[in-house]
Every structure is written in C-alpha cells, then in structure tokens.
Amino acid sequence: MIDKKIEKYVFCNTIIVRKIADEDTAILLQNAFLTLEKYIDYVHTVDGVPLKIPTNLQNEISLFKNMLELKKRGINLFFTDIDVLKQQMLKELK
C-alpha cells in the first residue's frame, strides 16, 4: 500500500511503520478519527504493563496536523468523515 502511494504521489505521509512493543506496527493516519475519552474502554497493555507511545513517534504523528491542514485546503486524505465526527462530539460536549 505504501509503495503504491509513493509511486502515485512520490511520498506517503498517511501510513507510518515503526516498532512498538518490539513489533513492526503500521499506524494508519488516513484511518484516524476523533474520539472522546469516555469512549476509550481499556488501556492497551503488553504483559500487564500499559503501552505508551514512544516520544519520537509522538512527534511523527504530528503528520496528522499536516493532513488536517491539507483537508482545510480541499485535499482530503482521511477515510473517515472527521468533520461529521467532530460536530457530533462538540454537540455531545454541550
């Protein structure tokens, strides 16, 4: 999938492959969606220890902000309708 995007667009900033908990993991920013804390029903653990996102990966996920900026300019790279989700959450928070 990454290769196809690179072939078509010369780069791919919607999918990140990194090691998390000693395993290669694909992070699909293109599948990102907004949520509220109350909908998170468990903390992912490895051997009973909560899994934390490595600091260097937190910085890379800032690519999400770039995707939001592109969306504002009419280039939508998300598979989910994050605008509808955002409106639903804002309504729920009121």
As separate numbers, helices (DSSP H) first and strands (DSSP E) second, the chain gives 4, 4
Q: Is 82 helix (H, G, I), strand (E, B) or coil?
A: helix
CB 15 within 8 A of CB 32: no
Q: Is residue 88 within a helix (H) or strand (E), and if so which, with residue range?
A: helix 82-93
pTM of the model: 0.67
Residues 75-85 pLDDT 10s: 888 888 988 98
Residues 15-53 pLDDT 10s: 888 888 888 888 888 888 778 888 888 888 989 999 887
Banded pLDDT at 73 (limits 50, 70, 90): very high
